[in-house]
Amino acid sequence: MMGEDAMEVPEGSSNGDDAAESSVVFSRLKSCCLELLDLLQNPKKQSPALSHLLHLLRSSPPEALQPLFEYVLLRYCISMMIATPAYC
């Protein structure tokens, strides 16, 4: 498993524009995940974190999201397990 800031470039894609786009999407995604973590730790706080995440995922091209899929899925699963202990 790679570190948080490391990303693999999928086969067949160029390192130039695709990597730069994935890097931008990664930073935005990381920011959304930090907002979600803050919301989890302060549940009474109002936050547009889920709306931001939804917008980011819908507006990002699949090519930029593919290398980040594991990052998104892992954070989502951890958040859901913490938020819904009955499923653990």
pLDDT of residue 74: 81
Give me the tens of pLDDT residue by residue for the chain, a chain 88 residues long.
344 444 443 444 455 677 888 888 888 888 888 888 888 888 877 778 888 888 988 998 888 888 777 777 787 888 888 887 765 5
Whole-model pTM?
0.55
Q: Which of 65, 33, 73 is nearest to 49 (CA)?
A: 33
d(CA 78, CA 62): 23
pLDDT, position 10? 43
Residue type, 28: R
